[in-house]
Amino acid sequence: MKIELIGWASSVILVLTISKQIYKQWDAGTSAGVSRWLFVGQLAASSGFTIYSFLVRNWVFVATNAMMACSAVIGLLVLLRHRSQGV
């Protein structure tokens, strides 16, 4: 159980870090300098890792990568909204 706790704690840190960055991008009202390919690549990788983690029954990584895939979608939507507004 202690080993799992390390994985869950790391997962929380990673997701909070990415979420904070996306919030900062949203709050600033600009996505200047951010490539859409960052989020496209993150979504592709996180989706693949979610499937892989499910197949090997690693629930820490299933949850982490599923949340990272969601964050990639949100980040991409924020970026696309900013680009459509010309910022």
CATH number of the CATH domain containing 63: 1.20.1280.290
CB 29 within 8 Å of CB 82: yes
The predicted pLDDT at position 1 comes to 75
Burial 29-55 (b: 16+ CB within 10 A, else e): eebeebeeeebeebbeebeebbeebee
Whole domain around residue 29: which residue ranges? 2-84
The predicted pLDDT at position 27 comes to 94
Q: How confident is the model at residue 8 (pLDDT cuts 50, 70, 90)?
A: very high
Domain count, the chain: 1
Percentage, residues of the chain above pLDDT 70: 100
pTM, 2 dp? 0.88
The predicted pLDDT at position 2 comes to 86
Segment 62-84 shows an average pLDDT of 95
Quick: pLDDT tens for 31-59: 998 999 999 999 999 999 999 999 999 99
Assigned token pair, 36: 């859409």
